[in-house]
Amino acid sequence: MDNRQFQKIAKALADPRRFEIFQTITKESSDGLCCGQVCEKMPVAQATVSHHLKELTEAGLLEQRSEGQFRFWSIKTEVMNEYIAELQIRLQLSG
């Protein structure tokens, strides 16, 4: 994982609300959740959730699929695993 991608993911997960949304999608469904389903799980406006989903997607952490008029987001497990591995390497190098 290059430094730019690593920093983008770290920045995306640094926001507490965004991390909570990411965690909700991870825990609640392996098939993904739509924006409305995420909103049902936390007291946040749909526009706010939509913004955070966009940021997580741009960081490479989520993938989106469409079913009719709905869009579902799910975790890109391979990217998250790569980020975790890179984080472990970087912490060992600095520690």
Q: What is the CATH number of the domain that holds 35?
A: 1.10.10.10
Q: What's the domain range around 30?
A: 3-94
Percent of the chain past pLDDT 90, that is, above it, reads: 85
CA 37 to the chain's CA centroid:
15
d(CA 33, CA 37): 6
Enter the tokens of residue 26: 């991870």
d(CA 77, CA 35): 19
pTM for the model stands at: 0.89
- Is it the case that residue 36 has pLDDT exceeding 50? yes
Give the mean pLDDT of 34-63.
94
CB distance 29 to 48 below 8 Å: no
Number of domains into which the chain is organized: 1
